[in-house]
Structures are given as C-alpha cells and as structure tokens.
A and B are shown apart, each in its own frame.
Chain A
Amino acid sequence: MYVAVKGGERAIDNAHAWLAEERRGDREVAELEVAQIREQMSLAVHRVMAEGSLYDPDLAALAIKQARGDLIEAVFLIRAYRTTLPRFGASEPIDTADMACDRRISATFKDLPGGQVLGPTFDYTHRLLDFKLAAEGEVPPAPSTDAPAEPVPHVTGFLNREGLIEEAPADDTPPPDLTREPLEFPADRALRLQALARADEGFTLGMAYSTQRGYARNHAFVGELRIGAVTVEMEIPELGFAIEIGEITVTECESVNQFKGSKTEPPQFTRGYGLVFGQSERKAISMALVDRALRWEELGEDNVGAPAQDTEFVLAHADNIQATGFLEHIKLPHYVDFQSELELVRKLRREAGASDMKEAAE
C-alpha cells in the first residue's frame, strides 16, 4: 500500500545535488568526456546497448557517465529513453554470414574456410595487472596484414552438408515483439531469443553455467563465435526499396550440441543460438546455451525439471530492469504496510502469550 506523504522535497533536492557532486568526484582529476567512455570503456558501452536494447554508442556512454558506472542504472536510463523514440519500422533480418569479422573462431573445426581469426581478445592474456596502463603512454599500432577478401561461411553449413546437424530453414513469419505486447507464455523461440538478447549478462551466464554443471546438460561446443560489423537494411515505403540505414557490431555464437535423438528427431547435432549487440562473447555463448536448453520441447527431449528448461522461470527473471525495479521498490516507504504487519505480530504475540499463561496455569 502506498500513501502520499509530503516533506521530503528539500532532502531530495539536496541528495541529488550531492549525487551530482559525487559523480564528478575529485575536481583535481580531469572530468571524463562521453567520447572517452565510448572509445575506452567500449565493452561497458556494448553491454549497456545490448541490455538497454538500443544500439547507440554515444547514448550508452552518456548513460554510463550519468549512472556513475552503475551499468544496470545505465541500462535503465537507455530503456527509459528508448520509449520516447518513435519507431520507424523494423529492419530486414541482418545477414551475419556477410559480417566483416574482427574475430571468428570455432572450437569444433581447426581448419575451416575463412580461418580462425582471434581478433582483439582477452584470451591467452595472463590476467596479470598491467601497471604500464597506470602510466601515460601511447600504444603502438597493432600489426596488420594485407587481407585478401575471403568469404567467411558459417561453420554449421559444413555439418549441414553431411546432414549431421539440424537445419535452420529460412522463414519469414513476422516475429512477436515483447516491447509491444507483454511477455506471455508459452513463448515461441523468436520471443525467447528477443528476451535473451536483452537479458542480464550475469543471469544468462548463471543459467548457461547451470546447464554445463548438469542441470539439463546439453553438451555444448562453440561451433562458431564471430564478432564484427554487419549492415542493417530497411525497406523505405516512400522509396519502394530497401536501403542500408547503418552498420552495427554484433557478436554471434552458434553452439553445436550432442543429441541422441528423440521420438521425433534422428540422432544428430542440434543448435543453440546467441546474437548480441556489440562485442560480448560471454553473453552470446551464454545465450546460445540457454536457448538450446529451452528448446527441449520442440526437440522432443525430456523435461528434467532443470531451471534452464523452464521458459517462464528464465524469461520472467532475465530482465535486469524489471528485476531491479521490483527489488529496489521495497526500499521506498512502506510505512502503512509495515504498520499493519506490526499490529499483526503484536496481536499474535498477545494471543501466544495468553495461551502460554493458560497452559502454565493448567
């Protein structure tokens, strides 16, 4: 129960003024520019774009600055801003086979057309703090090699040729949109993928990890992970044809999962899919594993009662803005609610006390 109370305005104004001062920090230290956050905290920017579900690096960087680096607060700011924008339409589905890959690796095939391209990865770093970064200094340019343009086909295509992996046939059913219709269950795969693409990275990672530890184990390999730029096309009604409206960086993960076959499907490899705004391979791999676990029903697998198989459990708790909104609201005044609880506990204690005294007397 909520009751309007007055009297906090001055305290609130002053709290916000202090927040602004704390955000600025020590004035002896130079103030961060939004462009510095965009360029040098780029993976934080990517996470805010992915979970904020709006691709705009400048806005995400601004949100991070405003939120003092609290990424969930920054996601909240982006989600709120997003609702103010008129929607011009939906793009054609992006063609990830046509990606300009910064990184492309496969854990299932060593030699593959297009090669294993490591890209700007933390893998194989020693995870030792680099104190040189605490000092000023320019970074030498990274080595480059003349790159003959070479197609980089999807790895699952090779397995498809032998019929050893389930196919993902093209289909043009317009997808449901959870930003327009409230999330309802059962949720089809398109809706699940939308929810997972904007889901909290930590939650998605935890759910994916649970499948690896044995809760609905699905034996995932990273068939392919690719990060790079794709162009986005949209049909423009006034023109009568589609044009490119921009270029975005995305991370895509295709998991290849062992599958013994079921009543409806032959033994073959099955697939999980992850696609995320920005460079975010932890999230993309997690998404692919969770997507695969949630597909148990359509593949005719048993529901072993694992959390990662429970669509409602996963999707209803994956959104960090919904979650934090509900979680944090309990810190706001609940004086009247609590007053009635207090009355109830006092009453129960009086009754318990009375019966104790009665028992003692008997």
Chain B
Amino acid sequence: MMSDEAGRKDWMGLLARAKPGRIAALLEGAELAEPVTYLRAPEIGSVMVRGRAGGTGAPFNLGEMSVTRCTLKLAGGAVGHGHVQGRSRGDAEAAALVDALMQGAKAEAVRAAILAPLHAEETARRQARAARAAATKVEFFTMTRGED
C-alpha cells in the first residue's frame, strides 16, 4: 500500500506542477479519455502557503497561491482527484482524470503518454536552470597574501 501511495503522491505532484494546458493537450493527443461523473466540478480557490521562522522554526502564513481542484469518477468506479497550481479548470479536470485512469487497466498507457513526457519536460526545465546557476558559482582563488 505504501508504495501505491508514494507512486500516487509522485504523479499527483507532477500533474500539479505541469505548465498550464499541458496535461489537457497530452490527454487529448493520447485518446484515453473516458466518460466521467463529477463528484466535485472543477473549482478555483486558494491555499495559504506557510513558511517557518528562521527556515526551521514556528510556522507562519506567507501568503496564498491559486489552486484549482476537481474530483471525478469513472464508470468503473475509480475516483480521481486533481489539484493543479493556477486557475485552469481544464487542467484540474485532466489531472483528476489521469489520477483515476492511473488506478486502472490503462495505467501503463497513461504513464507513457502523459506522465513520462511531463516528467521529461520538468526535468529538462529544472536542469536548464540548475546548469545556468552552476555557471554563476564563484570560484575563489587567493591572489597575494602577506608582506612579500
């Protein structure tokens, strides 16, 4: 069960962080959509983001972020939850559908068609920034020191 939960956490996070429009676009291309019943129609709201004083101390409220969520059910009974950053109802619905499909027979197809490309895009994006940051790392060297 734990590994199922860890896997689900991973894909839900990946879906939440995806660039606007990407999940819906990949889903459309893959023709994996199924009829669904909404348990909670896509809804835009906010989440209060917290930090910790001193980075590690007592929590405080930093400010809110926009989040859109959706819950739906497939004909087979699988319930999918989607939470995405931002205000795209389409993305929240697509994320919920992917979450539901990942619990059934189409999981591998969904992983290949949607999760794998999202993961590759995010990794490339992160690596590009990390590589630029690394190029600005200071390499100190001592010039001259002392009296002679």
Contact = CB atoms under 8 A, between A and B. Distances in A.
Given A147-B130, A254-B55, A273-B55, A231 B63 contact: no
A93 interface: yes
B53 A110 contact: no
B147 to A, nearest CB: 22
Interface string B47-63: 11111111111111111
Contacts of A242: 9
Contact of B59 (A55, A175, A234): A175
Given A55-B65, A246-B85, A247-B85, A117 B133 contact: yes
A109 to B, nearest CB: 11
Contact of A55 (B53, B63, B83, B133): B63
A273 B58 contact: no
Contacts, number: 239
A47 interface: no
A102 B129 contact: yes
Interface string B37-49: 0000001111111
Nearest to A90: B48
B40 to A, nearest CB: 9
A56 B47 contact: no
Interface in B112-148: 126-138, 140
Contact of A119 (B12, B47, B66, B133): B133
A314 interface: no
A307 to B, nearest CB: 22
Interface string A184-214: 0000011101100110000000000000000
B13 to A, nearest CB: 3
Interface in A201-238: 228-229, 231-232, 234, 236, 238
A189 B58 contact: yes
Contact of B57 (A110, A170, A174): A170
B47 A189 contact: no
Interface stretch (A137-145, A319-327, A343-351): A137-145
A146 interface: yes
A113 to B, nearest CB: 12
Size bracket of the A interface: 35 or more
Interface stretch (A10-18, A81-89, A333-341): A81-89
Contacts of B53: 168, 189-190, 193, 273
Given A94-B62, A193-B53, A194-B61, A145 B134 contact: yes
Contacts of B48: 87, 89-91, 177, 179
Contacts of A241: 5, 9
A261 interface: no
B22 to A, nearest CB: 14
A88 B69 contact: yes
Interface in B52-82: 52-67, 69, 71, 81
A209 to B, nearest CB: 23
Q: Which 8 A-B pairs have the closest CB atoms?
A: A168-B54, A246-B85, A244-B13, A168-B57, A144-B131, A147-B134, A55-B65, A190-B60
13 contacts: A56-B66, A59-B87, A85-B44, A87-B48, A100-B126, A117-B136, A142-B132, A173-B59, A238-B81, A243-B16, A243-B83, A250-B62, A254-B54
